[in-house]
Structure 1
Amino acid sequence: MPMHSGFEDYLDIPGGDDFAEVTDLFVAGAQDMEPEEVLLMDGFTLMDAMSAFEIGEPRLDSGMILEEQRRPPFDPLTPLLPEEVCWILDRSFACEMEWHAGKTLSQSVFTILFVHHLPDINPEYLPPEEDEDPARPRWLITVVIRAAMLGLLKCCDFAWRELSKNRVHDIEDWQGEKCDVSLLEGVNSDLIMHLLDTASDWVQQSDLSDAQIDALCDRLYLRKTLLALYKLDLLKGVDQLWYHTTVGRELIDRMRTPDNPIPPDSSVHLAMDAYIARRLPNFMPIRITEIPPLGQIWDSLDAFLEFWAEIGHLVASPSLSLWKTAGQLRYSLHKRPACAFHRSLLQTLFFDKELVFGTYRPTRLVEQFFYETIGIPYPAITQAFKRSGPANPPASMQDVVERRIIRLMVPHIRSYWYNPPRRRRHLMKEVLQWHMLYDVMLKDVETHEPPDAETAAILRAVPLTARIWRLEQCREVILAGFQQELYAPEERPIAYWYLARVLDQHIACIEDVLPSVARDSGAYSELSFQADHLAALQMISTALIALTSMYITSTWKRISINFKRRYKWVLDPEFKTLTPAHPLPDLLSFPSMLDELLQDTLYSPSRTFELAENIAHRLSESPQEAVSHWDRDRRQYLRNLADACDRLKRGTPDSLIELPNLNVKTLKWIPDVHPWFPTVASA
């Protein structure tokens, strides 16, 4: 079978193609063998055979074809009905989405045999056909299917180029093995778009019925739309992006018609070979995957285009806080993760070739960092330092701070589009870096003597920016542990305890910096929102310390060892050389805090959850103008938080006196219900 999918003629197989079929010879020879009998050649023992299996060579038995897997040879020029052509085109979209979902090309796109036979269906190489069936014209294959397959491969080529930039990780996030099959790397995309237009013209000028013409043209237009999106320069064509995504989603809605099943005996089924990996250079084990139902195909493709539209909103919003908010909400809403291609594309769009947001120099990050965190323009900050600095200031200090911010900010924003475990590991390492930045800023401020109250307020606020970001990352690391179900039951009360301490410090830090922030600035609005939001989280965490305390059954020594392992990111020895990083990971203070909490007979977990629920409801009803396009997502996050509080409120005691009556087994952590907080089974 030809494996070359370009435009050149099929080349002879090295060694010739006059192979002899030997299956019958082996079958005849095996008839004289007894069950479990093994034939071994000289120098190859049973141990050698078992070692091959133990090593796990994935292609060891790839050539074995069971009787039920045998099928007639595929003829790419077998005439097809328009409905069968639509069936193939629908499967091409499904296979593309399956690749983006993490399957290999040999399990998805390459299972469509037409992609391996493009030279065989090139109309330039075929003689005119005599006695053509009007219901099955050959041009449906040589013009329509060929153009669609070329478009499919070129879309995969554009995606592969982006994915191979090492923003995401091969095998961990996506599968990049091409199996020596061309993705039309050397073919101009404009030529393929022209072939798609030509195919649409052939369909529209044909004698097919109106319904058949519409069905074929919709699929060709959708492929052309996807190809236009892949090749689009998003930094220069946001309007075109929104246009293409709108058109694409409208086409999908038109194609959401009841699926007319293709008869099982139709020859079109031979165009799909789930076992194609047997005949491809492939290092992966052969795994057979089913094509999803047609409705699921369109849902996946619609979500694919929807996220592309969200990318357009991010590109049009060169703001650190908006990019951060968009990434946080996708995690906290426990949305279906974006595909690796989109995650890689976002990281490239944020910072690539020494430019931020495709337009600005990296120093733009420093300006946005201060202005969006504390509402003070960076020039005002530099002027305040000049007014209060020594007569001969160290010229390098400002450069040191700027370099640290840039070096921290680029991977930090990109990390919102890492896979969840990798993102958590990155944030764990980042916590120390933020505190080192805080330490540098604090020591720099101490060398200055502000001449007036306004300058003093600016100097006092500057180090707090790094502290705010450090506390935020601490919170994200702890919450990600719940979302990824990392904590053992007895670790949960300690996790909620340390989370509550982090939230306390974060709220106090915001209260310290708010007097220095202009009330009419976006930073003041966001800081005020966060103060209320963090207060709700702090209330929930404190109540859960009491409710989960019964999980603690191990010895103190065992708890201490687990704590050191789980919180090694805040126990790094380098912290001891810096300004104390409050809240300190002082596990010795946990027992006394827990005893004090449990002895407070007036403390009511259910009323605490109710108060947190009221805060979340109030915030969800207020306009979230600061987050622009993500207003709806933030409101949904707050409603989800309120719902979690409502479930806990209805299933927990009114007083800690009733705590022994709570069956701790009724607390269930279900990330799909809420990523961080439990629900009560009886509620």
Structure 2
Amino acid sequence: MEMLTISDLPGGDNFQDVTNIFVEAAAEMGPGDLILREGFTLQDAMSAFEIGEPRLDSGMAGDADQRPPFDIWTPLLPEEICWIIDRSFTLEMLWHAGNTLAHTVFTCLYALIASELHPDMLPYGLPNDAQRPPQLVPVVLRASICGMLKCCDLSWRELSKGHVHDKIGKVTKGDTSLLEGMSVQNVIATLDSATAWLVRSRKVPDPWATALIARLNLRKALLQIMDANIFKASTDFLTLVNVARNHFHTVRTYPSPEPAAESPARLAFDPYIARKLNSTVPIRVIDVPSVTEAWRSIDALLDGWEEQRLLSLTANVSTWEAIFGPGSQFRRCERRTLALRRRHSVFYDGLLVLNKFNLTWVIDRFFFETLGVSYQSVYHFVGQNSRSQRPPPWADIQRGHFKAGSSLLMTEYIRALWYNPCRRRRFFMKSLVDLHIYYTRLTEIVANLPENLPSTNVMKHLPACALVWRLSVIREVVLSGFQLELYTSEEKPFAYWYASQVMDAHLACLDAMLLAVEPDSLAARELRFQHSLLSALQAMTIPLFALSIPLMSFAWRQMHANFVRRYKWAFGRGYELSVVPVVAAPDFDRFTDTCGRVMQDKTFSPSASFDLAYSILVQLIESRAVGGYAGLWTNERIHLLQNLADACERLQNPLIPSSMARLPSFDTGLFKWDPQIHPWFPVLDQEGAERRQNRRVRPVEP
């Protein structure tokens, strides 16, 4: 190897050592001191660290990132066009999953130059290859890419309107075009022209002509669905979904082969394109899954749109809550796509509910679906029978001098059911104060009614409407802590105990309401189902509380400090506005007393409690008495019950003590909380139990 001399170095050999200059200049500075010139910002400081770091410096390209030049007019085979279109579908689904455009859709280089791919700009002198018609790129591929960009544009508009609340809501678009200035009808005309060219020209033989036409038609159908108003023509919306399913089936019948390593089609995708875009996110290369995953996402997208149409025709607010409320994480369709996220905008768009009702309608449904009476009936009864000289606080209930009136609070609650688990839990915690104030107002109204009002009169149970709602939210907040893995081992006993106390108050409330509600009404059937479900859940949480007591350190002072931090949402300043005591507030002193009593209760059987919960759940499943407001989604509710029954069955184990007297011999370390298995309840580590049993049993020496 030829050795380099000083004269060969860049800049020549006229270098001088300036180290002493910097040493002298910094002589009076201490360790950690920093001198900032005027105008020096945090971004300037971060830029100093970015330079030379490939993961942060979006402008740096290493030797391994060098790639051959990309020519947009390179003729391609029909199967290569199919492969590019399929990969574009995959990238689009990755964006809907919450990744950035710069790392997904824009890595397709044709998406960045769609405006330059017009057929009139096709250069002369391209080779006349019958297998690679030059029009495939500017006609067929351009139409598909324009359709994809327009779909992304319509999705982006949903983001801008605030109709999507999930990871995708924080994605940055930059200044790259999504064909915002091109109308949907023009894009559809481009897709139709490409389809007509494939049919008329006959330059693409079967089966690839059929495969390309199916892909163009699928893109057209998806674009029409995204642009459609589901309320204006519900039947047409369903027709579009069915048309998309037909084209989707044809696309899957004609899969595209993986191109060869030297194929120019592979140059159409650059995972490092973000370094050339106006993007503020670091480079991140996403592993693009197989096209099979994209087809699954599109299948879920179509399912979501079909369900969205059914929901748009559902005028029972309780149905929305029953489907997507507490326990909705057990639903079989858990693939969160764009259609699944934007359904809450179908319920309430910020102005109207279900595109035709005002907010007063929500409070009317609230009373009717809970007690079977209309808001007008409640209003007139209270007005005629109130003993107070002051008018009832209906204005406070409807509009609210607190954070939100009951109608708006309920609509926001329904919308929050589509939040991700963390954000949904935060919303629920913040809403508990408003729900208590709402409960207080109804309590004040009932307190001014005649004292001899019988328990069978529904008007006596008006506060219960808000109370059961609030208790349901508290239950979700507490149990979701297991799903999010928030609790330490020492906190789990209190969480299960508190959940059981909340359910106990909820059951008492339901018992009182069932005395007044018409037995054959839909509201009564829903209350009976909730009563059975809560009974089963309580029968599972109580033994788990008792069995997990050994997980605590019994350092009460430290545990109380942790308790205050974990349940600070229950002691907010807003509660001081109410003179009505909070129902089912977390009580640490009562918890410590209960721990002592349950340890001494030799009659309590954890295993029998699990058996009781399992029998209740199985009876509900077999009788299919889940009715209520589930409606067309009865099978989803049965799936919820089956998941709970499976969790209970996993806890029906011979290792579970049959009495508290056997608790000292039970190894609580066998409990394993895994949200992938069940978000709320643990399983027993059978392998760990066998290993420990083998360590205990040793062979007897002769």
- Same-fold call, TM cutoff 0.5: yes
**TM-score under structure 2 length normalisation:** 0.87
Question: C-alpha offsets along residues 80-132 of structure 1, whole Å, 9 cap, x if unaligned?
Answer: 11100000100111111111111111101111111122233211233566652
Question: Once structures 1 and 2 are overlaid, which stretch shifts more, 205-214 or 629-638?
Answer: 205-214
Contact kept in structure 2, 1:334 and 1:671, CA below 8 Å: no
Query: 2: CA distance between counterparts of 1:391 and 1:481?
Result: 43
Q: CA deviation at 1:334?
A: 6.5
Q: Quick one: distance in 2 between partners of 1:339 and 1:647?
A: 28
Q: Does 1:319 align with 2:323?
A: no
Aligned partners of 1:415, 1:38: CA distance in 2, in Å? 64
- After superposition, the Cα gap between the structure-2 partners of 1:555 and 1:452, relative to the gap in structure 1 and judged at 3 Å, is closer
Task: Supply the distance in 2 between the matched residues of 1:97 and 1:166 (Cα, whole angstroms).
Answer: 20
* Match status 1:628 vs 2:625: no
Kept after mapping to 2: 8 A contact 1:103/1:174:
no
Q: Does 2:666 align with 1:662?
A: yes
Task: State how far apart, in whole Å, the 2-side matches of 1:642 and 1:448 are.
Answer: 44
1:238 aligns with 2:234: yes
1:207 deviates by 3.9
Residue in 1 that maps onto 2:450: 449
Distance 1:558-1:450 versus aligned 2 partners, 3 A rule: closer
Structure 1 position 592, deviation (Å) = 2.1
- The farther-off stretch of 300-309 and 408-417 is 300-309
- Cross-structure match for 1:593: 594
2:424 maps to what in 1? 423
Q: Distance in 2 between matches of 1:483 and 1:93?
A: 32
Q: Is the alpha carbon distance of 1:123 and 1:29 closer, same or farther for their aligned partners in structure 2, counting shifts above 3 Å?
A: farther
Which stretch shifts more, 334-343 or 101-110?
A: 334-343
- 1:12 equivalent in structure 2: none
Q: Which amino acid aligns with 2:460?
A: R
1:644 aligned residue (644, 647, 658): 647
Question: Aligned to 2:207, what secondary structure does the other structure show?
Answer: helix
Task: Judge conservation of contact 1:668–1:681 (CA < 8 Å) in 2.
Answer: yes
Residue 451 of structure 1: how far off its partner (Å): 8.3
Q: Is the 8 A contact 2:57 2:282 kept in 1?
A: no
Partner of 1:215: 211
- Counterpart Cα distance in 2 of 1:323 and 1:129: 61
Aligned position for 2:695: none
How far apart are residue 351 of structure 1 and its match? 1.7
Matched, 1:118 2:121: no
Shift of 1:156: 0.6
5+ residue gaps, structure 1? 1-27
Instruction: Please show how residues 177-576 of structure 1 align to structure 2 within 5 Å.
Output: 177-205=172-200, 206-256=202-252, 260-328=257-325, 331-333=328-330, 339=336, 341-342=338-339, 345-390=342-387, 394=391, 397-403=393-399, 404-449=405-450, 453=454, 457-576=457-576
2:79 aligns to what? Answer: 83
Would you say the 8 A contact 1:533–1:616 is kept in 2? yes
Confirm or deny: 8 A CA contact 2:606 2:657 kept in the other structure. Answer: yes
Question: Is the CA contact 1:168–1:344 (under 8 Å) kept in the aligned structure 2?
Answer: yes
| 1:19-49 per-position Cα deviation (integer Å, ceiling 9, x unaligned) | xxxxxxxxx856999xxx9999x99x99999
Shift of 1:357: 1.0
Residue 629 to residue 143, structure 1, CA distance change in 2 (3 Å) = same
SS in 1 for 2:548: helix
Shift of 1:295: 1.3
Amino acid of the structure 2 residue aligned with 1:321: S
Tell me the CA shift for residue 453 of structure 1.
4.8
Identity of aligned residues (%): 36
User: Is residue 2:57 matched to residue 1:61?
Assistant: yes
How many residue pairs are counted as aligned between the two chains? 648
Q: 1:120-177: CA deviations, max 9, x gaps? A: 321123356665211111111111111111111100110001111234468x543432
Shift of 1:238: 2.7
Distance 1:259 1:89 in 2: 9
Deviations 1:623-662 (A, max 9, x none): 3343122211111110110111111111412222222222
Deviation, structure 1 residue 524: 0.3
Residues in 1 aligned to 2:612 and 2:390: alpha-carbon distance in whole angstroms: 50
Distance 1:522 1:561 in 2: 45
Q: Which amino acid aligns with 2:151?
A: C
Find the aligned partners of 1:487 and 1:567 in 2 and give their Cα distance: 11
Higher mean C-alpha deviation, range 503-512 or range 459-468: 459-468
Give the deviation of 1:346 after TM superposition.
2.3
| CA–CA distance in structure 2, aligned partners of residues 31 and 662 of structure 1 | 76
Matched-pair contact (CA < 8 Å) for 2:656–2:666: yes
Measure, in 2, the Cα distance between the counterparts of 1:397 and 1:308. 41
Which stretch shifts more, 513-522 or 528-537?
513-522
Normalised by the size of structure 1, how large is the TM-score?
Answer: 0.89
CA contact (8 A) 1:58 1:284 kept: no
Provide structure 2 residue ranges, at least 5 long, that are not aligned to the other structure: 1-7, 27-33, 37-43, 400-404, 688-702
Secondary structure of the 2:571 match is coil
Displacement of 1:366: 0.7
Distance 1:236 1:439 in 2: 41
Please state how far the C-alpha of 1:71 moved relative to its aligned partner: 1.4
Q: Could you tell me which amino acid in structure 2 is paired with residue 377 of structure 1?
A: S
Per the alignment, residue 676 of structure 2 pairs with 672
Cα offsets for 1:250-272 (capped at 9, x unmatched): 43333335652211110111111
Report the CA distance between 1:500 and its aligned residue.
0.4
**Pair 1:682-2:683 in alignment:** no
Report the Cα distance in structure 2 between the residues aligned to 1:134 and 1:622, rounded to whole angstroms.
66
SS at match of 1:256: helix
Change (3 A) 1:391 1:177: closer
Separation in structure 1 between the aligned mates of residue 524 and residue 69 of structure 2, nearest angstrom: 69
How many angstroms does 1:671 deviate by?
0.8
Contact 2:613 2:648 in 1 (8 A): yes
Contact between 1:111 and 1:273, CA under 8 Å: does it hold in 2?
yes
- The equivalent of 1:176 in structure 2 is 171
Q: RMSD of the TM alignment (CA)?
A: 2.9
1:616 aligns with 2:611: no
